[in-house]
Structure 1
Amino acid sequence: MQHVNIHEAKTHFSKLVDAAMAGEEIVIAKAGKPVAKLVPYRTETRKTIRFGLMKGETAIAADFHAPLPDEIVADFEGDGQ
């Protein structure tokens, strides 16, 4: 990880961007205190969703769509107290 001050970052910005594109992280400091980080931009940050990985390993109860018992409905509606 490379550390540079703001003046150096302005003077050598193109070189720093090239370094970031190559995978290096550059910390930019003001008065010796880190204030920003120049990092490579990643377009593929999200993993691909693969459907069907759990096929056959889960089950839905036959009465899934049946109405809930009155006491459970009352709990949801705040009437169960």
Structure 2
Amino acid sequence: MSLAEAARIVSEVFNKYAAEDQHKDTLSPIELKKLLQAECSTKGSICTSKLDEVMKRLDNNMDGQIDIVEFGTLIGMMAKRM
């Protein structure tokens, strides 16, 4: 898989869950939780960590939402653990 394909897939997953409320370009804590529960299959991974901690770590601008750039941090954290 190319890097471009991986980026497209990450974007598609992000957009699928971000579209669930009126803020179509960000993930709310509820949307992030749904995404992590549905898309992460490994028990004990970062996906099953405390959501509040993950949210605080990702939400750089502290707006209570995760944008695509902040979501990229999660992808990086997950890649580091692989």
Same fold by TM (over 0.5)?
no
Query: Whose strand fraction is larger, Structure 1's or Structure 2's?
Result: 1
Structure possessing the higher relative contact order (Cα contacts under 8 Å, 6 or more residues apart):
2
TM-score bucket (shorter structure): under 0.3
After TM superposition, the score normalised by the length of structure 2 is 0.23
